[in-house]
Amino acid sequence: MMALWIGRIGLGAALGALALLGVGQAGGLRGQRPADLGVHDGRLRRPSDTPNSVSSQAGLYAGAGADYARIEPLIVRGDAGDAMARLLAVVASMPGAQVIESRPDYLYAEFSTRWLRFVDDVEFYLAPGSQRIELRSASRLGRKDLGVNRARIEAIRSRFEASRPG
């Protein structure tokens, strides 16, 4: 009797996982693109209130979400236009990335996970005359990101620094 019960639980879990995978592959876990992305008064969108985002501008805000979100901006060494072009190349080459908008001072990309197609919104902003590229990466769905956004930004940072000429 116990084996039959355990078998049913296992079958139910497998069917549930397959259903979730199907919903994700069909785009049901993408979430909605936030309407307030972009640069407003020199700022990117504020960090999430929950631990599912990172932002180099988190210090401008208060709360637990802002504390979790703190991360350093990218530093421009040399020509800012070249730096933004290198950043675009780095982001565009990463798995799951789709560049949505690219301007000389702003870059926006969506990153989708492979299996469930969860989407994270990733933005970069180079203020005029600045040697800092401010950044933000946030999950659209879920209260926690399990460190995914921070790891992605640090991977971008590493590739960006490695692409710097001599």
- The predicted-structure confidence for 93-146, as pLDDT tens digits, reads as follows 999 999 999 999 999 999 998 655 689 999 999 999 999 999 999 999 777 878
Tell me what the mean pLDDT of segment 6-24 comes to.
Answer: 52
| CA–CA distance, 166 with 163 (Å, rounded to integer) | 9
Name the nearest CA neighbour of 49 among 138, 126, 119: 138
Quick: pLDDT tens for 55-91: 999 999 988 889 999 999 999 999 999 999 999 999 9
On the question of pLDDT at 166 being above 90, the answer is no
Across the chain, the runs of DSSP E, i.e. the strands, are 53-55, 74-75, 97-103, 106-112, 119-126, 132-139
The percentage of residues in the chain with a pLDDT greater than 90, rounded to a whole number, is 66
Tell me what the mean pLDDT of segment 154-165 comes to.
Answer: 95
Give the Å distances, CA to CA, from 110 to 65, 69, 126: 21, 18, 18
Torsion angle defined by CA atoms of residues 158, 97, 134 and 101, in that order, rounded to the nearest 10 degrees: 140
